[in-house]
Amino acid sequence: MILDHLKSIFTHFDKSDALASYKELASGHINDTYLIKTENEVSYILQRINHGVFKDVPGLISNKTFVSQHLLKKLSHLPASELKRRVLSFVPASTGLYYHLDSDKNYWNVMVFIHDSITYEAVTDENVAYEGGKLIGNFLNLTNDFDASVLIDVIPKFHDMSFRFEQFNDALKNASTERLSQAQNYIDIVDDLKEEMHIIQYLKEAGKIKTRVTHNDTKISNILFDQENKGLCVIDTDTVMPGIVHYDFGDAIRTICNTANEDEQNLDLVNFNITYYKAYVKGFLGETKNALSQIEIDHLPLGAKTMIFIMALRFLTDFLNDDKYYKTKYAMHNLDRAKNQFKLIESLTQQYEAMTINSSMSN
Ligand code: GN1
Ligand code: MG
């Protein structure tokens, strides 16, 4: 029984209290996440990290605890009650480590739950898009002087386009004929976009785009808002590592400007919301514009398109691989996710000119 198992895991984190109830939070695609409540009525997030995906879990845990420590220092002017809501706080196990390794070789970690916070799977309010941009921009600012050399590459080449194409090409070779034919139209789209989707990577490799500390999973469901819809805290810092601004800008746009959820099957509902894009850009550049070079700013729209594409490509690759990587709820789930992302690219492309960043967008 899950309850008994979670109870026993929790004893390794707090011996003076006990887990009383749990609720699974099923929005993540990789880890198992539970909101738990203890007998003393304290709420925590208890998480089992997928060590098939994350090969060095202790390294991942030290990355995210380092990031929290850095943010705590940067925000130390805030009152303690506010600080607790702005920075993820990890609970050490009785060993002193910030994880527990169970007898099945599973890694668990615990975070303090941030009360009175809201998350979204899709945005329905322009102000939420603006606040999201502000918070992601602020995260990049706050981590700008963070010593990236203490971070491990949790997933090497995570957003490297050539690497994702290699995986896609391997999947094409090994896929079943049935899945290949179901995916054919989308395989053709991938080919058509291939060159354009490498532009940002080439600029990075040529040293024209700076490497920074980035979050790498800035989807809307990883942004906590307070009851007034002000951005509160960026969560899920599992993938924090060196990267470029376009990853974080783009992955947030991917989810904030999609008029539907990431796995919506009715593609008529999936469109790129340019109003939310402009609101997000305003919030984002308000925080970051002095830290970004002109070439970085000029390529933000392409960064958005590239990040949507990379997710489409990864979902399609996993579909061809018979769903080995992402959690799926039904047979066509990964293909539906890929179709959704390709539809979003199509809608974005129709409005691409209006996405060009100009000075009036940031104020
Ligand atoms: C995965 O597990 P989750 O939901 O935090 C994935 C991200 C994708 C996202 C798509 C380690 O994140 O890269 O953007 O799904 N994380 C990993 O929703 O692959
Ligand atoms: Mg994540």
The pLDDT tens digits for 289-311 are 999 999 999 999 999 999 999 99
Give residue 360's pLDDT. 82
User: Is residue 95 in some structural domain?
Assistant: yes
Mean pLDDT of 16-32: 95
Whether 363 shows a pLDDT value over 70: the answer reads no
Across-strand partners of 241? 214
Residue 251 to residue 111: CA distance in whole angstroms: 24
**Residue 54: nearest ligand to its CA?**
1
The average confidence (pLDDT) of the chain is 97
31, 172: one domain: no
Whether 1 shows a pLDDT value over 90: the answer reads no
199, 66: one domain: no
Rounded to the nearest angstrom, the distance between the alpha carbon of 58 and the centre of ligand 2 is 16
Rounded to the nearest angstrom, the distance between the alpha carbon of 239 and the centre of ligand 1 is 9
pLDDT cut 70: percent of the chain above it: 100
| 71-115 tens-digit pLDDT | 999 999 999 999 999 999 999 999 999 999 999 999 999 999 999
pLDDT, greater one: 314 or 359: 314
| 162-180 tens-digit pLDDT | 999 999 999 999 999 999 9
Rounded to the nearest angstrom, the distance between the alpha carbon of 76 and the centre of ligand 1 is 30
14, 133: one domain: no
Q: Which protein residues have a CB closer than 5 Å to ligand 2 (ion)? A: 217, 236
pLDDT band for 122, please (50, 70, 90 cuts).
Answer: very high
| 266-279 tens-digit pLDDT | 999 999 999 999 99
Determine the atom of ligand 1 nearest the C-alpha atom of 325: 19
239 lines ligand 1 (CB under 6 A): yes
Closest of 8, 27, 28, 26 to residue 18, by C-alpha:
8
107, 130: one domain: no
Whether 48 shows a pLDDT value over 70: the answer reads yes
Query: Of 112, 134, 162, which marks where a domain is finished?
Result: 112
Which mutation among 111, 155, 217, 234 tests ligand 1's pocket best, with the greatest number of atoms within 8 A of CB? Answer: 217
Mean pLDDT of 237-255: 97
Range of the domain at 59: 2-112
How many CB atoms are closer than 10 A to CB 7? 16
pTM attached to this predicted model: 0.96
CATH of the domain at 50: 3.30.200.20
Give CA 160 to chain center in angstroms: 15
30 lines ligand 1 (CB under 6 A): yes
Mean pLDDT of 332-344: 98
169, 273: one domain: yes
**Residue 221: nearest ligand to its CA?**
1
Residue 2 to residue 8: CA distance in whole angstroms: 10
53 lines ligand 1 (CB under 6 A): yes
| 192-223 tens-digit pLDDT | 999 999 999 999 999 999 999 999 999 999 99
285 backbone dihedrals φ, ψ, rounded to 5°: -70, -25
pLDDT band for 359, please (50, 70, 90 cuts).
Answer: confident
Q: Considering its fold, how many domains does the chain have in total?
A: 2
35, 154: one domain: no
The Cβ-side half-sphere exposure at 179, using a 13 Å CA radius, reads 21
43, 143: one domain: no
Rounded to the nearest angstrom, the distance between the alpha carbon of 235 and the centre of ligand 2 is 9
pLDDT band for 361, please (50, 70, 90 cuts).
Answer: confident
pLDDT band for 226, please (50, 70, 90 cuts).
Answer: very high
Which amino acid residue places its CA nearest to atom 15 of ligand 1? 29
